[in-house]
Amino acid sequence: MGDQTVLDARPLGIIAAMAEEAEGLIAEMRAHPRATVIALGGRDFYAGTLWDRSCVLTLARIGKVASATTAAAMIHHFDVGGIVFTGVAGGVAQHVKVGDVVIADALMQHDLDASPIFPRYEVPLLGIARFKTDADLNARLAVAVGDFLAQDVPKLPKTIRSAFGLKAPSLHRGLIASGDRFINSSAAILALRSELPETLAIEMEGAAVAQVCHDYRVPCAVMRTVSDGADDAAHVDFPAFLRNVASAYSFGVVRRFLSS
């Protein structure tokens, strides 16, 4: 569990994988005259304040390696007191719908398999398959998400809400699985449900960030907006959802989270 004093005293790291997931947050930070941009490791890190909270914001790019190096840079170069990863994910559980939000209580790599030397899904020589996230960050995020879904989503343009079926979206908390593969196959989702039935959503970065934060004992949280069903239609829905919905969710939830 994170030390709230440490979290408040040091900058909060905020990471997204793609520009569409954080463009509103970047614009908000850059509007402040004291915001700085530091180029490091092929990425731009935006350091400044968001809603009176010291933050460092960056785009990791896609995948586990990219997100792991980004999290390590956040910790070593910027001395962040915690990391929040925000972005989109494909829904896996049948009750998780497009427009819902999943906060990870734990994350694992669904494509990690060093068997028979080590158990499937377990990180070799670490003895851990599922990495827990920070309970305090999760609780604060859950409040922010709940308020956003109830108060802000109904204000999105009706055409957008209708196009993506955003009808009373819900908050879920549980297991998120990460892997270096964009899942857009109904067969793959059925297999994942069979092999890891607790999985709520699937993405490509969160478990790597959680492992880095575990190694360095830095609190982390991962919040995902469900963009598609990770099925045969995912490649069609995904780009449109990024453009029209993802940025609004990330901006709105993070604003409420930091303002609380």
pLDDT in tens, 143-182: 999 999 999 999 999 999 998 889 899 999 999 999 998 8
Residue 12 Cα distances to 111, 116, 158, angstroms: 29, 39, 34
Structural domain containing residue 183: 4-259
Higher per-residue confidence, 54 vs 6: 54
Q: Write the CATH number for 132.
A: 3.40.50.1580
Over residues 86-125, the pLDDT tens digits come to: 999 999 999 999 999 999 999 999 999 999 999 999 999 9
Could you tell me the two tokens for 51?
């809603």
What phi and psi, each to the nearest 5 degrees, are found at residue 74?
Answer: -55, -45
Q: Is the pLDDT of residue 30 over 90?
A: yes
Rounded to two decimals, the pTM is 0.92
- How many angstroms separate the CA atoms of 207 and 108, rounded? 5
205 is known as an active-site residue: no
Flag whether pLDDT at 76 surpasses 70: yes
* pLDDT of 6: 53
Number of domains in the chain: 1
From 20, 21, 105, 205, active-site residue: 21
Out of 28, 203, 205, 228, the active site residue is 228
Q: Quick check: is 228 catalytic?
A: yes
Q: Which residues of 181-207 are buried (b: 16+ CB within 10 A; e: fewer)?
A: ebbbeeebbeebeeeeeebbbbbbbbb
What per-residue confidence (pLDDT) applies to 187?
A: 87
**Quick one: CA dihedral 70, 72, 77, 80, positive or negative?**
positive
